[in-house]
């Protein structure tokens, strides 16, 4: 079988290149390793190799589209190309279980204008993508769909869009308050229901006391409670009192063709009450079936379980509430008079005015005062003051970060020590914390593929249970009691052993014991907790589908610069063939001054330290992965890789001179570098009419958690592959330092070749994650099964836009944390689904009387209701246990570090 490394090498050997690969007549500088296909072509290539080469070119031409790096990821997520699509977001209430979710989905999908639907019961949201031919400027489709759902028993309204930050927080708080009010109402119903349970079951207290030798309870009160008519009144009070909403909702849902959990409980309760009333009002039947306590206890258990379940659901969204609490809706706007000398030196000058305004009114460039203990309301930079800031809710780092003038700060972080004056750079809904909240909301609305399986089961589940209930009655009434006559001796058949009574009770048990709620809650509760927990740990995960894919990843590809290294390179040496250092840096910085790549920043920093005046440039062109070209002082100047710069100009520098130049700059850099663990990259500078005239060595230290992260991934059974556009020698040094084997190291790759490598790995059966940080990584991040990107300096970039997971803490070790969280979340999903399915598989046959012939055991409706409630509670509680994952992972994270030392 061909190995992963061989497949990777093969794909790279077929990769097309720009003119720098095929048109150049100069050989590349000596390399310590070659691609496997080049070293041993007969191992991979057949006699008709040209055809394969042509096929390889076609593959790579399709793999990357720089104009739309998200295309491949969107197609993978089932969103098509996105052109011309419009989406509608609906707030849907009234969903009780997985069957309701399936019903809502089927109602919406039946509309010809709807392309796809995602429904989330926990967040009460339905996301609808309309077909291309649907007018995008009209709200009519959304309103009509909302009206249709409302008519079908699911009150719905369109989600308001474009809300300001204050309105958004206000709306969420109102929703939380509404849920809290419903929880209080639910508690009152439970208290009422269990008061009736106590009264209804009080008659049994005397029997229990008699068995203990305490002969009391013969008073008038207990005698009244023994009366069947009083019991019937209590049962009727339970049905029309605390159980009224449940019963009416179940009947209404059944009439509209979408029976739910309430339908099953309602029918069971009414059936138990009806049998008892028939027995009470028709003594001639001799049923003696006065079990009015059964519907009372059934509703008591169900309402108690529903109340505990609602409480657990609110607790499951507590992380989101905590995130929203970090959004400050009010800010202190500082207005200093024009020309004030102290405006830039002090936090608040004497002649300045401080006004408290809504955060929505803050504009870019405004100054905001933040006092100790307050939440920073906007993204920006410190212009005055010194303090430490708690960024743990954004980055996962518990230690506060020191801030002073010039340092960036983010909305949602907490100022601890001293007052700060901040100049706003991003405000309102565009701030970091607002985007995090929005993305977490979106993530919780995106269903994992495994949820579709649960929905497909839960949808017809209620009808299936009703059919099984009818089948249970038919079996025991017509066959069972004749085949197993001893079952009539059981208490559920009454004192006279009535087969009709036994059949009715068992059919009611089947209705009540089944639990589609557990199936419907299994996945969304775990995803809700997992994505919220990830946000608290500085892991911005875009959806449950991302968690599911990440849990299945078996191979992770990594970029080098900014990923395994710190991404904060500096110029460590400059070498030139005929010019001084200042001239090389001057023209290189002029070309790179508008670029955002870390290497460009390093060159600009050196130019600034030398106090160089940069000339103006024209016609700047950047080719990601290769370099940048611009006109400087009337001549073209190129800065980038050796081969690419060499091919830009007709006049070529002598090969021997290039070797000497490279050896010189690398030697100087090795001497000057202060760290023993670093990566050195050589950038070459060429000018029109001269060819390559100099080289700049860029040193970048390894991340301090790089080695432990690679080791941690290996311990979890994950292979790591290094894909870099840097020189092979530099890449080899980093790979050796972090522990990546040589056969999984690939250097001098273009962005297209990186994407091609990921395509090959995916086609060979691997589930691939890509970790990167720059614009040249965006195509690979979008193409991988899971793209993981760093958010550099709290700013969005092409990499973070294309990625499925964003590491807000800017730590490589967060890759391991994300993997552990994904696996823990999906483990909870599988546990929940396994429990839900196993419970129903076991409980329904027992309720149907499976154990009655041999073990003389049968359930009662109240016992069935209690088990049903416990099933839902178990699923939600099991998901809530995921909140302890962060504490467990912190204890485990120390292990790889100790081993690596």
Cα separation, 403 vs 413, in Å, equals 12
Burial (Cβ within 10 Å: 0-12, 13-18, ≥19) of residue 280: middle
Name the DSSP class of 490: S
Residues 6+ apart with CB under 8 A from 669: 572, 573, 680, 697, 699
Beta strands, E only, 193-236: none
In 3D, which of 20, 864, 29 has the Cα closest to residue 505? 864
Name the DSSP class of 374: P
Cα separation, 537 vs 551, in Å, equals 17
Tokens standing for residue 522:
């299994």
By the 8 A CB rule, do 809 and 535 touch? no
Cα angle 258-260-261, degrees, rounded to a multiple of 5? 175
Cα separation, 519 vs 833, in Å, equals 6
Q: Which residues pair with 623 in a beta bridge?
A: 627
By the 8 A CB rule, do 379 and 425 touch? yes
Q: How far is CA 451 from CA 68, 446, 447, 463, 523, in A?
A: 29, 10, 6, 20, 6
Name the DSSP class of 748: S
Q: How many Cβ atoms sit within 10 Å of the Cβ of residue 898?
A: 8
Grouping H, G, I as helix, E, B as strand and the rest as coil, residue 347 is: coil
Cα angle 451-456-457, degrees, rounded to a multiple of 5? 100
Grouping H, G, I as helix, E, B as strand and the rest as coil, residue 712 is: helix
Give the active site residue among 360, 545, 559, 705.
Answer: 559
In 3D, which of 893, 757, 714 has the Cα closest to residue 817? 893
By the 8 A CB rule, do 295 and 238 touch? yes
Kindly state the greatest CA–CA separation across the chain.
Answer: 118
Question: Active-site residue 559, yes or no?
Answer: yes
By the 8 A CB rule, do 561 and 700 touch? yes
Measured torsion, CA atoms of residues 506, 509, 510, 516, in degrees rounded to the nearest 10? 180
Three-class HEC string of 495-541: CCCCHHHHHHHHHHHHHHHCCHHHHHHHHHHHHHHHHHHHHHCCEEE
Residues in the chain: 901
By the 8 A CB rule, do 518 and 875 touch? yes
Question: Using DSSP, how many helices (H) and how many strands (E) does the chain show?
Answer: 37, 26
Cα separation, 828 vs 42, in Å, equals 48
By the 8 A CB rule, do 649 and 638 touch? yes
To the nearest 5 percent, what fractions of the chain are helix, strand and coil?
55, 15, 30
DSSP string, 120-178: ETTTTEEEEEE-TTS-TT--HHHHHHHHHHHHTT--EEEPP-S--HHHHHHHHHHHHHH
By the 8 A CB rule, do 561 and 679 touch? yes
Q: How far is CA 797 from CA 534, 752, 775, 802, in A?
A: 21, 19, 7, 9
By the 8 A CB rule, do 901 and 739 touch? no
Cα separation, 710 vs 647, in Å, equals 37
Q: Which residues pair with 390 in a beta bridge?
A: 414
Residues with a catalytic annotation lie at: 559
């Amino acid at each position: 079988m061909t190995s992963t490394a061989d497949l990777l090498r093969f794909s790279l050997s077929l990769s097309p290149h720009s003119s720098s690969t095929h048109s150049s007549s100069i050989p590349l500088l000596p390399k310590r390793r070659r691609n496997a296909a080049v070293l041993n072509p007969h191992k991979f290539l057949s006699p008709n190799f040209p055809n394969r080469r042509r096929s390889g070119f076609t593959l790579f031409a399709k793999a990357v589209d720089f104009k739309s790096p998200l295309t491949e990821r969107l197609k993978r997520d089932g969103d098509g190309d996105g052109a011309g699509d419009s989406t509608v977001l609906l707030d849907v209430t009234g969903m009780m279980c997985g069957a309701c979710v399936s019903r809502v989905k089927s109602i919406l999908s039946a509309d010809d204008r709807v392309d796809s639907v995602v429904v989330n019961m926990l967040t009460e949201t339905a996301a609808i993508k309309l077909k291309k031919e649907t007018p995008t400027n009209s709200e009519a489709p959304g309103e009509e769909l909302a009206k249709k759902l409302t008519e079908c028993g699911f009150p719905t309204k369109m989600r308001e869009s474009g809300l300001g930050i204050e309105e958004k927080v206000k709306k969420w708080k109102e929703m939380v308050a509404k849920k809290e009010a419903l929880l209080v109402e639910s508690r009152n119903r439970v208290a009422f229901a269990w008061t009736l349970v106590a009264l209804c079951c009080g008659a049994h207290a005397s029997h229990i006391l008699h068995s203990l030798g305490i002969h009391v309870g013969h008073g008038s009160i207990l005698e009244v409670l023994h009366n069947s008519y009083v019991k019937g009144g209590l049962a009727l009070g339970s049905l029309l009192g605390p159980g009224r909403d449940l019963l009416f909702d179940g009947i209404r849902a059944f009439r509209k063709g979408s029976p739910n959990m309430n339908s099953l409980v309602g029918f069971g309760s009414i059936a138990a009450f009806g049998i008892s009333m028939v027995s009470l009002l028709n003594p001639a039947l001799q049923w003696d079936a006065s079990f009015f306590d059964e519907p009372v206890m059934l509703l008591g258990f169900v309402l108690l379980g529903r109340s505990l379940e609602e409480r657990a659901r609110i607790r499951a969204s507590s992380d989101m509430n905590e995130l929203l609490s970090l959004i400050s809706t009010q800010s202190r706007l500082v207005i200093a008079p024009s020309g004030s000398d102290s405006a830039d030196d002090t936090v608040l000058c004497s002649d300045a005015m401080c006004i408290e305004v809504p955060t929505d009114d803050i504009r870019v460039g405004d100054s905001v005062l933040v006092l100790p203990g307050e939440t920073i309301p906007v993204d920006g930079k410190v212009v005055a003051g010194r303090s430490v800031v708690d960024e743990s809710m954004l980055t996962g780092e518990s230690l506060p970060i020191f801030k002073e003038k010039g340092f960036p700060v983010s909305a949602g972080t907490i100022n601890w020590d001293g007052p700060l004056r901040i100049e706003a750079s991003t405000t309102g809904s565009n701030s970091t914390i607002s985007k995090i909240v929005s993305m977490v909301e979106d993530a919780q609305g995106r269903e994992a593929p495994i949820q579709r399986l649960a929905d497909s089961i839960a949808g017809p589940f209620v009808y299936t249970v009703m059919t099984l209930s009818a089948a249970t009655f038919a079996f025991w009434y017509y066959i069972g009691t004749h085949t197993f006559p001893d079952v009539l001796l059981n208490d559920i058949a009454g004192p006279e052993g009535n087969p009709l009574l036994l059949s009715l009770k068992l059919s009611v048990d089947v209705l009540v014991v089944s639990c589609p709620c557990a199936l419907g809650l299994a996945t969304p509760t775990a995803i809700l907790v997992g994505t919220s927990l990830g946000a608290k740990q500085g892991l911005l995960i875009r959806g449950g589908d991302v968690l599911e894919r990440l849990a299945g990843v078996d191979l992770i590809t990594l970029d080098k610069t900014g990923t395994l290294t710190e991404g904060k390179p500096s110029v460590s040496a400059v070498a030139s063939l005929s010019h001084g250092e200042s001239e090389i840096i001057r023209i290189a910085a002029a070309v790179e001054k508008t670029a955002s790549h870390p290497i460009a920043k390093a060159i600009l920093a050196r130019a600034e330290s030398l106090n160089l005046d940069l000339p103006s440039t024209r016609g700047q062109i950047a080719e990601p992965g290769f370099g940048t070209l611009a006109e400087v002082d009337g001549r073209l100047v190129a800065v980038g890789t050796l081969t690419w710069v060499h091919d830009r100009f007709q006049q070529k520098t002598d090969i021997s001179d290039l070797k000497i130049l490279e050896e010189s700059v690398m030697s100087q850099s090795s001497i000057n570098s202060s760290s023993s663990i670093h990566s050195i990259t050589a950038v070459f500078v060429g000018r029109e009419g001269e060819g390559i005239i100099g080289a700049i060595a860029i040193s970048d230290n390894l991340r301090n958690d790089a080695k432990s992260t690679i080791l941690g991934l290996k311990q979890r059974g994950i292979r790591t592959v290094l894909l870099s556009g840097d020189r092979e020698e530099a890449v080899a040094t980093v790979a050796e330092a972090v522990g990546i084997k040589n056969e999984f190291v690939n250097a001098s790759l273009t962005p297209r070749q990186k994407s091609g490598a990921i395509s090959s790995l995916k086609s060979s059966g691997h589930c691939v994650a890509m970790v990167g940080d720059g614009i040249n990584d965006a195509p690979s991040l979008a193409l991988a099964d899971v793209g993981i990107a760093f958010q550099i300096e709290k700013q969005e970039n092409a990499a973070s836009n294309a990625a499925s997971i964003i590491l807000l803490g800017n730590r490589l070790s967060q890759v391991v944390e994300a993997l552990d969280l994904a696996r823990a979340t999906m483990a909870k999903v599988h546990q929940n689904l396994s429990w839900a399915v196993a419970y129903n598989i076991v409980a329904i046959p027992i309720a149907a009387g499976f154990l009655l012939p041999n073990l003389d055991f049968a359930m009662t409706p109240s016992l069935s209701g209690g088990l049903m409630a416990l099933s839902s509670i178990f699923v939600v509680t099991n998901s809530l246990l995921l909140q302890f994952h962060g504490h467990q992972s912190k204890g485990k994270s120390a292990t790889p570090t100790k081993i690596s030392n």
